[in-house]
A = this chain, B = another copy of it.
Amino acid sequence: MTAEIITIGDEILIGQIIDSNSAWIAERLNQIGIAVGRIVSVSDQHEAIKIALSEASARTGLVIITGGLGPTDDDRTRTAICEYFNSGIRFDDAIYRHIESLLKGRGVEINNRNRKQAEVPDNCRVVHNPAGTAPGMWFEQNKVDYLFLPGVPFEMKAIMENVLPEWKKRYAGQVIVHRTILTQGIPESSMAKILESWEQQLPASVSLAYLPSPGILRLRLTSHGTSDKDVQDIINKEVNKVKKIIPEAIYGYYNDTLEKVVGKLLVDRKAWLATAESCTGGTIASMITSVPGSSAYFRGCLVAYANDVKTALLGVFPATIEHKGAVSQQVVESMALGIMRLMESDYSIAVSGIAGPDGGTDEKPIGLVWIAVGSPGGVRSEKFQYGEDRGRNITRASISALNMLRKEILKSEMK
């Protein structure tokens, strides 16, 4: 079974928003054995919507459509739907009552525009939207299933979760297994070289993809077959081989994140972490605290953007900054020790660098970042040279720092 996704909205075609819905839908469909053959974004004009629906239905038996079901006037999807499925409109009492109670909870008064959302095509099955006012609409026509969803991501997700169990039963067929190995610290072309001989011996049923993003390189193995166990076994065998080739570079699998992995290491050891950030400006702290339950191992963070904050609160000597510069091994190590004292933590991360676009010199160019990790065993630091882009430098430094901490925690274990 191969499905197609259609996203509707001029805001996508003019580049005002990034279509993140499709990725989520595709991932969830894959998990229940439904592959996605194509994703198409079209304008919210009637004709464009109808052409996209008709083209997709010629290729596939399952079409998921998002966008254009909000309460405001720019939403033309509903009328295009009625034309395409030749349906009238009925007022749905249950939807109306749901909208009413939802808005009441938010302290918002119900208005005509909300009322319009209770008007649905009379030949669709309504799918409940627990998270918002626009319901999902499911049509079946000429053996093709069409599910229409609002574009607001958390509403779209809430509705999808309501139909997935049914689809899983209905479409269960081929097993597709993806396994993603997450690595940090080795660039794509070097990794390809390192893995070359392993890659050449891969069975024909297994394919490999390299997926680079700033600071991270993901390796995705894909295989399919009829027995879940057989496919899993084949993939597991290959993953184990990779583990032996690059044991240090792997920090997790699938949608693990370094912040989750590090969090788990800390919570298992009942250890506390604190960060002292200069050029990353709180990004590492915000990554760590994005994980639910991080208050069990994260003490806090000091963003020491100004030099006198580094000296007054972290105990960095003014003379060290003067002679070595704020971006130096001495300062960043002093920051790592200072934040452990200040926040009474067992581990620490400290970062100081030149994120750009200003502040670079010949001796200390843009992209130069010093990172230190403090631990019960002392402090260890490393120098990195990234590129010119501020946002990318901040991301790469944050990821490298978390990976240094991960390795340090594991290393102190080995002793």
Contact = CB atoms under 8 A, between A and B. Distances in A.
Interface of A: 10-20, 22-30, 35-43, 48, 70-74, 103, 106, 108, 111, 113-114, 133, 152, 154, 178, 180, 187-190, 192-193, 199, 207-213, 218, 220, 222, 275, 277, 279-286, 288-290, 292-295, 298-306, 309, 313, 342-343, 356-358, 389-392, 394
Contact of A295 (B37, B113, B306): B306
Contacts of A281: 285-286, 288-290, 294, 298, 301
Contacts of A275: 303
A24 B30 contact: no
Contacts of A303: 275, 282, 285, 289, 300-303
The 6 nearest A-B residue pairs measured at CB: A281-B289, A15-B27, A282-B285, A282-B282, A15-B26, A301-B303
A189 B39 CA distance: 29
Nearest to A293: B358
Oligomer copy total: 2
Contacts of A305: 289, 294-295, 298-301
Nearest to A131: B387
Nearest to A27: B15
Contacts of A343: 306, 309
Given A40-B41, A74-B208, A280-B289, 8 more contacts: A39-B40, A111-B193, A152-B212, A154-B389, A281-B290, A290-B394, A292-B357, A299-B305
Given A188-B70, A192-B71, A343-B309, A14 B41 contact: no
B30 A23 contact: no
B72 A210 contact: yes
A16 B113 contact: no
Given A74-B209, A189-B71, A299-B309, A26 B13 contact: yes
A15 B30 contact: yes
B300 A304 contact: yes
Contacts of A14: 26-27, 30, 35-36, 178, 222
A301 to B, nearest CB: 4
A49 to B, nearest CB: 12
Nearest to A44: B209
Contacts of A40: 38-41
B209 A11 contact: yes
A313 to B, nearest CB: 7
A325 to B, nearest CB: 14
Most chain B CB inside 10 Å of its own CB: which residue of A12, A209, A277, A292: A209
A220 B10 CA distance: 10
Contacts of A74: 207-210
B42 A108 contact: no
Given A14-B178, A389-B154, A73 B22 contact: no
Nearest to A55: B55
A13 B28 contact: no
A393 to B, nearest CB: 11
Contact of A218 (B16, B113, B114, B392): B16
Most chain B CB inside 10 Å of its own CB: which residue of A103, A154, A394: A154
A340 to B, nearest CB: 13
Given A15-B23, A18-B19, A190 B108 contact: yes
Contact of A302 (B12, B71, B218, B302): B302
A377 to B, nearest CB: 23
